[in-house]
Amino acid sequence: MGASDQQVSDATCDVAIIGAGPSGLAAAAVLREHGVGVTVIDEQPRAGGQILRQPPKNFSVAHWLPAKLYDRVKAALHAVSEQQDIDWRFQSTVLGILRPSAYRTLRADASGAAGPESAAVRSHMERQTSVAGPDQKLGGGAHELWIQGPSGCYLLRANAVLLAPGCYERPLAFPGWTLPGVMGAGAIQGFVKSQQFVPGNRFVLAGSHPLQLVVADQLLTAGAQVAAVVFTQRKQQALRMLRHPFVALRHHRQLLETSHILRRLRRAGVPVIFGHTIVRADGAHAVEKATIAEINPSGTIDHHKTHVFECDRIGVCHGFLASSELARQAGADMHWKDHAGGWLARHDDWLESSIKNLFVAGEITSVDGADAALEKGRIAAVGILRSLGRLDDNRARSLASNARKRLSHLQRFAAVLQQLAQPPAGLALQTMSDDTLLCRCESIQRGELQRALADNKHVLSADAAKLLTRVGMGLCQGRLCGDNVARVIADARGVQPDEVGPFQAQAPVKPVPLAALTRERITSPRPRM
Amino acid sequence: MKPVNVVVLGGGLVGCAAAYYLARRGAGVLLVEQGDLNREASGRNAGSLHFQLEYRLIRYGDELAAQFAQIIPLSLVALEDWRGLEAELRADLEVGMHGGLIVAESDADVALLERRQALQEKWGLASQLLSAAEVRRMAPYLAESVIAAGYFPHEGHANPRLVAPAFARRAEELGVTIQSQTRVTGLMRDGAQWVVTVVDRSGRAREVIADAVLNAAGAWAGEIGALAHLHLPIFAVPLSMNVIERAAPLIPHLVQHASQRLTLKQVAAGNVLVGGGWPSRFSREGSAMSTQRRADPVVENVMANLTLAARLVPAIGGLHLLRSWTGITGITTDQMPLLGAVPEAPGFFVAAGGAAFTHGPTYARLVSELILEGRPSVSIDLYSPARFSHINNFMASV
Ligand SMILES: Cc1cc2nc3c(=O)[nH]c(=O)nc-3n(C[C@H](O)[C@H](O)[C@H](O)COP(=O)(O)OP(=O)(O)OC[C@H]3O[C@@H](n4cnc5c(N)ncnc54)[C@H](O)[C@@H]3O)c2cc1C
Ligand SMILES: Cc1cc2nc3c(=O)[nH]c(=O)nc-3n(C[C@H](O)[C@H](O)[C@H](O)COP(=O)(O)OP(=O)(O)OC[C@H]3O[C@@H](n4cnc5c(N)ncnc54)[C@H](O)[C@@H]3O)c2cc1C
């Protein structure tokens, strides 16, 4: 190993879990019970992930998540959050999942030096070399995580990695969507949940996902005004969604309350409008008005049939996109499933991705909700134990069987919800006008991309379009525009968005301050091969 | 469609430019690219227009440096080509030729600059050696540690995002057929003609007959050579690049280091590009290094590259690294381009290797003159594949 190794290569751990959401926490509990060293990395300051959004430690909130909606997830959090034998690394962002150099591994083996590998891993490596079955995966097994922690960047080597990075809200681009005051409905909920703070006075919620009903209700309870809740679905379809048997499911138990919520909204005089979509936001410096338009039965927006609401906040709510950047950067096989979260990681029965010992759990495999994320975390943990040689196949199977049963039950209903909560096909293409900002980081309008596509007819991939126009080159790394860019290209070329592909993700997957990267100690750098 | 005289293999800068120059001279051209155009080295490079000798050419002692300096005559042609390119292609390529500085931080660096200066002079490239005070006046953004610099007033950069696509657009206007997402899988000589097998995105194979083929496959030129049962001594090497978030205009020059791997420039949008030949790493495919998958970044190298950049230009130290990427490029055993006809395989031409962002348009122009007129307007004998005839001597009898 070169001298530079010591400076950035921190240590080796057994299993690194990326994401302290329901999936990561459930996996940590299982792994810990089996005596495996666990390191949990999350960019947030505390555990809990998207759904719990714990208030900061020194910020006590009287009724943190009073509704009993999240008790399973909370239980998972309590089961591990105070465990000192877990190596918690908060405020730490994983910038990349890298393959340790095969060259270094070979050299360590040849010298016979006692490597940092545990006995379990050694036996695993033996298994690896002796069983070269047809299901051979890419990579040698170990991974190196490039981490930006509170005091700089370093590498952490892990014998196995569980990637559970969750999801984020699917953005919709429409004239005015970049005005201050246009937010994701879930982001609004985030404020209310974690800090009991209402970020605005008068809200319009618009979208296709039932989450917006819950948010509307929470806003009313917190004393805000809700000017309207707007569903893209027509009334019959929306009611079918809201009344579907999945309401009986713990997973979406909040929706058990939908009839109560609808009643409360009606009592408060909040119009719930069906068959409409947000088409523009206006305001001098921030949102002052929201315009919605009718969607006719064929699915096209009728821009002549509009309503305008005065408001200072718009919450849009069209479902979720999996945070796929690390999986893509690592080179895992991905597949595209529009209503299940866009680009998702392919995996086997044990939730192992196409890359050896890179496991995936939670929304990155399909946006199925928090309870499903818990079960996926458990299954993946058993898979990891099996892969590390800690459990034989039979034990692993029996250990995972309950989680599998619960998961398949949960996923059946999640699939129905995904179907029903899907925005109408082509909505994103209809709400964007020619001069709507498609990529807000680089200020690229939809029309600019379309003209570039017309002038350069060989551009097919999202990456080629990015290179040509700078679309997706900015600070958000295409998280916000990627989905819409793919739709615009697919539409221009007459193909499906998955043929256009996601933007290539590269490490670092998120911008890093140079100060966290540069080291004055490296004065005459020698490149490492 | 015109009958195809030339099939161009590879849709990077060299291939797109060659298609354009060939068509401008009236040839019927088919360009075949396995992915999208400009997605490999030509769209992933640093965009430096190198006319002075790069560090990689000077670092291996005087004897080799003297040999590698034979690139300079071509660089001087390239310089003139770049001056006219935006007008020729009717496109903004973000060409900025506002001077290049190769900075020295030690006496040893200065000595290296002096040797470089002497070689450049010998080949007719008029560079200057600036004192510390002169550097400070010209480039106040550079750190105090800089004590001298080699300066050439016409060096600079252009934007790799834009150049190959502009050539492709103009080529198509001239009637070139471009087939992207189409891979070359076979090359066979049949009498005086070449039979090129291409496979499109849907897996459909087709044969194209042409008078000549131009291998413009960059780092993969060796593989294309192999399809024709030839050895082309081109090695794929994995590099890395970094881009820093946008900043107000600060750095008009191309900045390099005398004795370390660094190129640094600010592009029109304000982003600062940092590179200089730091390796990334090929992923493995069995026992081989894979050139088909993206090379993996080497974090230590990314950090060292940025450390060096922030040391020389302290003002960027407060900014964010936006992204790093890797790219694969081809170099030959003697660092010179492989440019011209392969004598053992009549009708087989190659234009690959070297700093082919800087030299790509020139390779393309000269090789198309060679293909269509039998000789280029400027001699390229120094770079001819004939210098490897001793290898293909054993390959070419089929
Ligand atoms: C706004 C919003 C509201 C939602 N509301 C509900 C709801 O009411 N009911 C429901 O069932 N589901 C809801 N979901 C879906 C919800 O995210 C999941 O069901 C659940 O939280 C998924 O668990 P997870 O473990 O997959 O991911 P998450 O809980 O999202 O946890 C992922 C964690 O990974 C971390 N992370 C991601 N990338 C990195 C990185 N590069 N480096 C370090 N850390 C990283 C994140 O900080 C996060 O803490 C909501 C999602 C969002 C975005
Ligand atoms: C990170 C990096 C930084 C660099 N910086 C600079 C710089 O600052 N200045 C400079 O002058 N040079 C620089 N270079 C070198 C320069 O980028 C290359 O020399 C130049 O782009 C090569 O152009 P090309 O067209 O020959 O190759 P490429 O752009 O690589 O194009 C070759 C094409 O051939 C295609 N191909 C391969 N096999 C097949 C097949 N079987 N069928 C069909 N198509 C095929 C490939 O897909 C590819 O698109 C850099 C290179 C890298 C990687």
Q: B38: domain CATH number?
A: 3.50.50.60
Residue B326 shares a structural domain with residue B210? no
Q: How far apart are CA A152 and CA A183, in angstroms?
A: 31
Looking at the structure, do residues B303 and B381 belong to the same domain, yes or no? no
In the predicted structure, residue A53 carries a pLDDT above the cut 80: no
Among A328, A402, A385, A392, which Cα is nearest to A351's?
A: A385
Domain chopping of chain A, boundaries: 11-100+136-167+321-416, 171-318, 433-500
A458 and B317 within 8 Å at the Cβ level: the answer is: no
**Would you mind telling me the total number of residues written for chain B in this entry?**
398
Q: What residues have CB less than 8 Å from A75, skipping those under 6 apart?
A: none
CB of A519 less than 8 A from some CB of B = yes
| CA B88 from centre of chain | 20
Q: Is B68 among the domain residues?
A: no
Expressed in angstroms and rounded, the spacing between residue A504 Cα and the centre of ligand 2 is 18
One domain, residues B355 and B207: yes
Question: What's the burial of A109, exposed, middle or buried (CB within 10 Å: 0-12/13-18/19+)?
Answer: exposed
**Residue B288: its pLDDT value, please?**
87
Does the pLDDT value for residue A115 go beyond 70? no
Say yes or no for a CB contact (<8 Å) between B161 and A512: no
Give chain B positions within 8 Å (CB) of A459: 36-37
Confirm if A193 and A53 have CB atoms less than 8 A apart: yes
Q: Is the CB of A19 under 6 A from ligand 1?
A: yes
The CA–CA distances, whole Å, from A48 to A36, A66, A187, A222, B244 equal 21, 16, 16, 23, 33
Contact A195, A299 (CB under 8 A): no
Domain range for B180: 6-43+161-233+334-392
- Whether B66 maps to a domain, the answer reads no
- Closest Cβ opposite residue A477 in set B35, B279, B323: B323
Best of B33, B34, B36 to substitute, by most chain A Cβ atoms within 10 angstroms, is B36
User: What total number of domains does chain B contain?
Assistant: 2
Nearest-atom number in ligand 1 for the CA of A25 is 25
Could you tell me the distance, in angstroms and rounded to a whole number, from the CA of residue A524 to the centre of ligand 2?
29
Q: Mean pLDDT throughout B6-29?
A: 98
Q: Is B359 a member of any domain? A: yes
Q: Which residues pair with B189 in a beta bridge?
A: B194
Q: How many residues does chain A have?
A: 529
Does the pLDDT value for residue A112 go beyond 80? no
Task: Reply yes or no on whether the pLDDT at A109 is more than 70.
Answer: no
Q: Which residue has the tokens 């709400």?
A: A431
B/e letters for A239-264, b = 16+ CB within 10 Å, e = fewer, are eebbebebbebebbbbbebbeebbeb
Is residue B88 assigned to a domain? no
Take residue B216 and report the two structure tokens written for it.
């413009």
Over residues A373-410, the pLDDT tens digits come to 999 999 999 999 999 999 999 999 999 999 999 999 99
User: Quick check: A61 pLDDT over 60?
Assistant: no
**pLDDT for the residue A526:** 46
The 10 Å Cβ neighbour count of residue A270 is 21
Grade residue B107 by pLDDT with cuts at 50, 70 and 90.
very high
Asked, for residue B86, whether it belongs to a domain, the answer is no
- Specify the CATH number of the domain A433-500: 1.10.10.1100
The domain boundary, picked from B282, B309, B332, lies at B332
Cα–Cα distance measured from residue A444 to residue A274, given in angstroms and rounded to the nearest whole number = 32
CB contact under 8 A, A508 and B311: no
Q: Are residues B35 and B130 in the same domain?
A: no
CA B180-B181-B183 angle, to 5 degrees, is 100
Nearest to B383 by CA among B367, B365, B361: B367
Q: What is the CATH number of the domain that holds B277?
A: 3.30.9.10
- Collect all residues of chain A within an 8 Å Cβ-Cβ radius of residue B303: 8, 153, 517-519, 522
| Whether B241 and B286 share a structural domain | yes
Most distant CA pair in chain B, distance: 65
Nearest Cβ partner for B297 among A102, A458, A507: A507
A155 has a chain B CB within 8 A of its CB: yes
- Ligand 1 centroid vs A323 CA: distance in angstroms? 9
Separation of CA B155 from chain center = 15
Q: Residue A528: pLDDT above 90?
A: no
Q: Which among A232, A174, A219, A233 has a CA at the least distance from the CA of A312?
A: A219
What is the average pLDDT across A255-261?
69
Q: Give the tokens for residue A44.
A: 């947030």
Sign of CA dihedral A419, A421, A422, A424: positive
Last residue in a domain, options B283, B310, B332: B332
The mean-pLDDT minimum among A106-115, A176-185, A349-358 falls in A106-115
Lowest mean pLDDT among A5-14, A23-32, A287-296: A5-14
Distance CA A203, CA A228 (A): 7
Mark yes or no for CB contact B311/A520 under 8 Å: yes
- Determine phi and psi for A312, rounding to 5 degrees: -115, 0
Q: Please tell me whether residues B177 and B324 are part of one structural domain.
A: no
B113/B170 same-domain check: no
Q: Which residue of B240, B323, B325, B328 to mutate against A (max A Cβ within 10 Å)? A: B323
- The H-or-E segment that residue A225 falls in is strand A225-231
Contact A313, A183 (CB under 8 A): yes
Beta strands A38-41 and B320-332 are unpaired
**Strand pairing report for A152-163 and A167-169:** unpaired
For the beta carbon of residue A111, count every other beta carbon within 10 angstroms. Answer: 9
Looking at chain B from residue 303 to 362, which residues have their Cβ under 8 Å from any Cβ of chain A?
303-308, 310-311, 316-326
* CATH number for region A171-318: 3.50.50.60
Same domain flag for B248 and B149: yes
**How far apart (Å, rounded) are the C-alpha atoms in residues B70 and B337?**
10
Same fold, A11-100+136-167+321-416 and A171-318: yes
Closest to A75 (Cα-Cα) out of A37, A55, A45, A47: A47
DSSP for residue A444 = E
Mean pLDDT of all residues in A177-196: 88
Quote the CA–CA distance of A423 and A339 in Å, as a whole number.
8
Task: Convert B58-79 to b/e letters by CB count within 10 Å (16 or more is b).
Answer: bbeeeeebeebbbbbbbbbbbb
**Three-class secondary structure of residue A401 per DSSP:** helix
Q: Are residues B361 and B386 in the same domain?
A: yes
Q: In this predicted complex, what is the ipTM?
A: 0.92
Residue B207 bridge partners (DSSP): B197
The answer to whether residue B255 is domain-embedded is yes
Distance from CA of A486 to the nearest CA of B (A): 15
Residue B75: inside a domain, yes or no?
Answer: no
The CATH class of the A11-100+136-167+321-416 domain is alpha beta
> Is B161 within 8 Å of chain A by CB?
yes
**How many angstroms does the Cα of residue B262 sit away from the middle of ligand 2?**
19
Q: Work out the end-to-end distance of chain B between its first and last CA atoms, rounded to an integer number of angstroms.
A: 32
Given the DSSP bridges, would you call strands A313-317 and B283-285 parallel, antiparallel or unpaired?
Answer: unpaired
| Cα separation, A396 vs A394, whole angstroms | 5
Do B328 and B339 belong to one domain? no
Name the residue among A78, A51, A55 with its Cα closest to residue A254.
A51
Q: B182 touching A, CB under 8 A? A: no
pLDDT value, residue B83: 98
Looking from the CA of residue A371, the nearest atom of ligand 1 is 11
Cβ within 8 Å of A, B 49-108: none
Higher pLDDT residue, A245 or B207?
A: B207
Give me the pLDDT at residue A49, please: 81
Chain A's closest residue to B173, CA to CA, is A455
State percent of chain A over pLDDT 90.
65
- Asked if the structure places residue B226 within a domain, the reply is yes
Of B312, B332, B352, the one marking the end of a domain is: B332
Shared-domain flag, residues B208 and B341? yes
- Does residue B255 share a domain with residue B217? no
B191 CA: distance to closest CA in chain A (Å): 33
A8: left (phi over 0), alpha (psi -120 to 50) or beta: alpha
For residue range A513-525, list pLDDT tens digits in order.
Answer: 999 987 643 333 4
Mean pLDDT (chain B, rounded): 96
